[in-house]
Each structure stands twice: as structure tokens, then as C-alpha cells.
Amino acid sequence: MFLRVLIISAALLLGLPSVLLPSHAAPPLPRTRPVEPGLEIAGKWQVVFNWQKDRCTTHDTIPDLPARAWRDASGMINLTIAHTPTYRMTGKDFDSLKMDCTPILRSAYDSDPSSFANHEWIASTYTGDGKTVYALAHNEFQGNGELGDVCPSGEYIKCWYNTITLLISTDGGKSFHHAVPPPGHLVADFPQKYVPDGGVFGAFSPSNIIRKDGYYYAFFKLQTYVLEDQRACLMRTNDLADPKSWRFWNGKAFAGTFVDPYRGGEFNQGEHTCAPIGPDTIAQMFEGITWNTYLDKYVLVGTTSDPTKTPNRFGFYYALSDDLIHWEHRKILLELPLPWTVAHPADTNYLYPTLIDPQSPTRNFETTGKTAYLFFTRNNNGHTSLDRDLIRVPVRFVGGAAR
């Protein structure tokens, strides 16, 4: 009481307003900045697929693309181990996944580049009912494995021609085949015929598929010596059963059409080449896309670096968007050695990041909540080695509205 009288008396002497302070007034709280929306690592690494222990064969059971997952009609989880051929892991949940050593896709291995049915990987999957499952295939024509003048140098990297094609399963994902007979199953490409020793070019490795406003969307990478660049592109369709229905973003609208260069007649190459999405913000990120319900934003993860920062860190990055077209500048999630940054080709390196939230209510894990897992491949003895493990690590989103 005495202290309060002194304070009031001092206020009167100084000409300050007379305010009775509460007898138990708390000191003012320090001001804090709101947490920016983002993503961070939240736990320890866990091995999902161990090549040394879980492989079905020595040469073809490897996680060579981002893992994709779906719930089939019985409620079982299916997770791809994608190579040529492609296998799957199954289980009642993500903690009980086991290898199924019956391939779900066997490649056609056609020696004709114009068939678009060569070395085939399951790259992305989507099902509405758990019975019929559509898949986009990463298809490689590997000219170095053929006879004659199809690859004069004999070098794989100089004779790699890539396209994206459509597959279908009618048994919940136990087996996949071409959705329509080749070459009609072509979905996406760079509009040019195979060129012997022309280098790596084509449309590569589509992301997982997500649904938005009645359309199905997927990112993919376009690479060609003609353009002298690599770019992330975005395409969509309203009919997963029709490979010709996909349209790419041409810089103004989803109006770009793909063309079969072997059967398309005369065409303007530029009109059938996709525009890059966010070249400054997401660079070449394309591997995994989800809608995050905690941030109310799309989140894209991919493998890249950021030369606008010092130091320029290589590894797995993420970016946020409201509409899939315009992206905030990418941020580092996990700094890791990549195949092109290691000192020696046999050094351990990493690829193929994607996000999967086991709690997603969607059959195709199109959404993430406040927490999820980052899945990726660890190349234990370098990218040319078959010893590759599938890893997952918990992540959490921060800075979202309270739920």
C-alpha cells in the first residue's frame, strides 16, 4: 500500500495522470515475431526399404524414383519401389509395410524409340475407388543398349530419350499395363524424335497426381539440349483414362498440347513445348506436391540448390503456393550430398524426395497436415550402385493457423 501511495504521489508531482495500478500487475510481455509458414525436420531417420535385406532380386529391386502410395479397396497401403520392373510394399499401415516380390509392372523393352514402350518405371499413381489405379510411367529409350548406329558413342547418357506414358491397373494395383496400345498411350514429351548421341532429353519423372477443382495435376521435368535447360512444367487433365487429354501450362493457360513427333505431321515445336513454372522460385523442383491443410497452401518438395544464397546449399528444398503457378522462393529443408556434388562417384548421396502423410484422409495421400514424413532414396555407394535404401524422416509444418 505504501509503495502505491509513493507511485501516485510521484505521478501527481510530475503532472502525470493519476492511475491506480493493480496490486498484482504483471510486467508487459516481450513482443515476438510471428513464425513464418514453413517446414522443418522433426525426428530421426527410419529405414523403410533396406536393399541388403529386403530386395527381391539383385539387379532390379531398387527405389529409383520417388515413392508413391495409395489405399486400395481393402484399405491396404501400397507403396512403390520403382525401377524397371516396379515392385510394391504393402501393409495395413506405413509401419507394417513388407515387400511383395511379384512385380506390378514389367517393362516392354521395345527397341523402337517411336513406340514409347521401352524401359518403364511407375512414377505416379491415382485411384478413385481403390480398384482401378491409373499411373504415369517414366519411359526411357536407352539407345546404348541397341545395335547398329542408334548410339554411335555407346554411352547411356548420350542416348537417353524420355517420355511419359499412361498405365492402368484394374486389380487395385497388383498389376499394371498400358492403358491403350502403344504408341497411343503417350502422355507427355518434348516434340522431337530420338537423335543418336543427342544427349539426355525429353519429359521425365512426373510427380504424384493431386486433384483440384475437377482436374488432376502433375509436375514433370523437361530437359533438352535444344533448349539448353531443365525446367519444371505443370500439366493437368479432367480424364485420367485418356492419355491425349493432358494439357500443359503454356505461360498463360492450360492450353498446351503434346504432339507425337513421329506421327504429328508438320508442327511448330515451340507451340508444343511447356513453359517453365517458377524458374526463379522453384528452379527445377518437381518431385512431390501436396495440399497442406495446416498452412492452407500447396507445398512442393524437390532436389535443387539456391545460388542466390551464400553459401549455396544443395539438397532437398520446399516451396509454398496458393495456386500451383505462383510460388514463394524455395527454402532448404535438408542439406545433403547429391550425385553431382560428391567428391567421388562412390560416395553416399541422396535423391527423390516426396512428402507422405499417413493420416491423410485421401486415398492417394494428396494432403499433408501439421506433420508428415519426408521419403527419399539413399544411394549407399553412389548413384551407379544398386545398393539403395528408402528412408523416411518425420517433418512438421510451422506458422499455420491453430486447428
Q: What is the tens place of the pLDDT at every residue in 291-316?
A: 999 999 999 999 999 999 999 999 99
CATH architecture of the region 34-398: 5 Propeller (2.115)
Is the separation of the CB atoms in 104 and 175 below 8 Å? yes
Predicted local confidence at residue 19, as pLDDT: 38
What are the boundaries of each domain within the chain?
34-398
Is the separation of the CB atoms in 81 and 87 below 8 Å? yes
Please state, in angstroms and rounded to a whole number, the distance separating the CA atoms of residues 216 and 381. Answer: 37
User: Hey, what amino acid is at 63?
Assistant: P
Please state, in angstroms and rounded to a whole number, the distance separating the CA atoms of residues 371 and 391. Answer: 16
| pLDDT, tens digit (0-9, with 9 covering 90-100), for 317-354 | 999 999 999 999 999 999 999 999 999 999 999 999 99
What does the block give as the cell for 269?
515445336
Q: In 9-75, which ranges are E strands?
A: 38-41, 46-49, 69-71
Please state, in angstroms and rounded to a whole number, the distance separating the CA atoms of residues 53 and 146. Answer: 33
Stated as kind and residue range, the H or E segment containing 289 is strand 288-292
Predicted local confidence at residue 58, as pLDDT: 87
User: Hey, what amino acid is at 157?
Assistant: I
User: Hey, what amino acid is at 77?
Assistant: I
Q: Please give the model's pTM, rounded to 2 decimal places.
A: 0.91
User: Hey, what amino acid is at 382?
Assistant: G
Comparing CA positions, the residue from 129, 121, 116, 52 lying closest to residue 80 is 121
Please state, in angstroms and rounded to a whole number, the distance separating the CA atoms of residues 198 and 247. Answer: 26
Is the separation of the CB atoms in 390 and 81 below 8 Å? yes
Please tell me the chain's helix, strand, coil percentages from 3-state DSSP, rounded to the nearest 5: 10, 40, 55
Cis geometry, peptide bond prior to residue 183 (ω within 30 degrees of 0): yes
Q: Which residues contact 67 (CB under 8 A, 6 or more apart)?
A: 48, 79, 80, 81, 82, 352, 354, 356, 375, 390
What does the block give as the cell for 150?
542408334
**In degrees rounded to 5, what are phi and psi of residue 127?**
-135, 140
Please state, in angstroms and rounded to a whole number, the distance separating the CA atoms of residues 54 and 73. Answer: 26
**In degrees rounded to 5, what are phi and psi of residue 186?**
-65, 130
Residue ranges of the chain with pLDDT lower than 70?
1-34, 147, 227, 401-403
Strand, helix or coil for residue 11 = helix
DSSP category for residue 157? G
Strand, helix or coil for residue 124 = strand
Please state, in angstroms and rounded to a whole number, the distance separating the CA atoms of residues 261 and 267. Answer: 9
Strand, helix or coil for residue 213 = coil
DSSP category for residue 27? P
What are all long-range contacts of 193-197, with beta carbons under 8 Å and residues at least 24 apart? Answer: 193/113, 193/114, 193/261, 193/262, 194/113, 194/114, 194/141, 194/143, 194/150, 194/161, 195/161, 196/143, 196/149, 196/150, 196/151, 196/152, 196/159, 197/151, 197/152, 197/153, 197/155, 197/158, 197/159
